[in-house]
């Protein structure tokens, strides 16, 4: 709500998922029910979510915007006397007095192409015991030189990436990748009410953040999907942590029991199970890592985390008519019996 010459103006925003699609404007005390209907402004965004065009309730162009790579407004066109909407680069609100964008944790200066404060997530880039650099947040953590610049925006690649929005489950990548992961998450939520409720917990938790991205390094492309806790200190002290999920929806995975080719929805359900476990802080000082000091290397895994992830996966599997998973690649884990999962699904 803000004030102009006509009084206190109110704005309502309509979202589809995380995307703002329309803003409705009204004035406090306005009694005409049709006023809000004609004061609707629809956003038309690019692959980053930046508003490039805004149309009114009749589909007529209200505002057209173009940006430099870091969000400085390059072209701004609208009718005489019309007031622009504040949501612009990557859908963020621009403060007209300062020209800065507010991202929740810090402010972005589009002219300087830099944040005004240091990266609050720098601690997530420090490796824990036995952790490979390939598994660190930020595509390599402190081993990736770009992360040593704590004021950079989107890894200095603002045409491809955006920085976190504050939403607790964020998908990073191309528009096609984001759409496919969203489709798979929706499929899992429709199949399993329990999965849907736990996804809501992840999204609504403002203390942690979950990111999902495609494999970047060759090691990640060669390996399977993975989930890493993003807060090393929280892990060490058994406290809730966010997660970084590396997931390739195009990679075929086979069931370890039946050699049955599995659809990618089971993979994302499994990784979300890990993220939920991390949110609950149930590490008990253990993580899934390879002990490289042995010959051959020994896989050390957190049985509790894998049990939780497979339980997530199994509920989605059974709802979709897929085989029940009874082990973790031959490793014994305490998985919920199939009969109990089916009983829970009925209730």
- Residues 325 and 341: their CA atoms lie apart, in Å, by 12
> What Rg, from alpha-carbon coordinates, does the chain have?
23
Contact of 17 with 11, CB cutoff 8 Å: no
> What pLDDT shows up at residue 206?
67
Between CA 129 and CA 286 the distance in angstroms is: 10
- Digitized pLDDT (tens) for each residue of the chain, 347 residues in all: 454 555 566 788 888 766 788 998 887 766 777 777 788 899 998 888 899 999 998 999 999 999 999 999 999 998 766 788 889 998 898 988 899 998 877 889 999 999 888 776 666 667 766 666 655 566 566 777 777 777 888 878 888 777 754 345 778 777 788 888 888 998 998 888 888 888 888 887 767 778 888 888 777 777 777 776 655 555 556 667 778 888 998 887 777 666 777 889 999 998 898 888 888 776 544 455 555 566 766 656 667 778 888 888 888 988 888 888 877 777 667 777 777 777 776 66
CA within 13 Å, CB half, 192? 30
Task: Please report which helix (H) or strand (E) contains residue 77, including its range.
Answer: strand 73-78
**Global pTM?**
0.53
Residue 345, SS3?
Answer: helix
pLDDT recorded at residue 139: 58
Encoded tokens for 216: 């970047």
| Strand residue runs (E) in 207-323 | 210-213, 226-229, 243-246, 253-254, 261-262, 289-291, 298-300
Domain ranges, ordered by start, for the chain: 9-91, 112-156, 171-345
Structure tokens, 46: 């690019």
Largest CA distance in the chain: 77
What is the token pair recorded at 11? 């704005």
Cα gap 37→322, rounded to integer Å: 47
Query: Which DSSP helix (H) or strand (E) runs through 306?
Result: helix 303-319
């Amino acid at each position: 709500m803000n004030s102009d010459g006509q009084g206190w103006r109110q704005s309502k925003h309509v979202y589809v998922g995380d995307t703002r699609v329309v803003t409705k404007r009204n004035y406090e005390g306005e009694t005409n029910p049709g006023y809000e209907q004609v004061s609707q402004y629809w956003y038309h965004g690019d692959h980053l979510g930046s508003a490039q065009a805004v149309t009114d309730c009749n589909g007529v162009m209200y505002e057209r915007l173009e940006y430099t790579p870091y969000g400085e407004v390059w072209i701004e066109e609208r009718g005489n006397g019309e007031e622009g909407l504040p949501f612009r680069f990557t859908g963020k609100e621009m403060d007209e007095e300062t020209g800065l964008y507010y991202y929740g944790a810090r402010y972005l200066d589009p002219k300087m192409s830099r944040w005004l404060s240091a990266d609050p997530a720098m601690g997530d880039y420090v490796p824990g015991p036995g952790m490979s650099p390939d598994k660190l947040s930020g595509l390599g953590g402190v081993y990736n030189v770009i992360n040593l610049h704590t004021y950079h925006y989107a890894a200095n690649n603002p045409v491809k990436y955006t920085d976190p929005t504050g939403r607790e489950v964020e998908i990073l990548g191309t528009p096609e990748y984001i759409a496919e992961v969203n489709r798979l998450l929706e499929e899992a939520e429709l199949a399993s009410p329990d999965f849907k409720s736990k996804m809501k917990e992840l999204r609504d938790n403002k203390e942690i953040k979950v990111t999902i991205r495609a494999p970047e390094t060759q090691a990640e492309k060669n390996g399977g999907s993975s989930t890493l806790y993003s807060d090393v200190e929280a892990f060490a002290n058994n406290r809730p942590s966010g997660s970084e999920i590396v997931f390739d929806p195009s990679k075929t995975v086979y069931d370890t029991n039946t050699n049955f080719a599995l659809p990618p929805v089971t993979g994302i359900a499994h990784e979300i199970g890990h993220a939920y476990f991390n949110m609950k802080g149930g590490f008990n000082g253990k993580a899934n890592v390879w002990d490289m000091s042995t010959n051959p290397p020994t896989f050390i895994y957190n049985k509790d985390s894998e049990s939780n992830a497979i339980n997530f996966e199994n509920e989605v599997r059974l709802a979709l008519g897929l085989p029940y998973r009874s082990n973790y690649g031959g490793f014994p884990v305490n998985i919920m019996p199939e009969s109990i999962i089916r009983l829970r699904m009925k209730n």
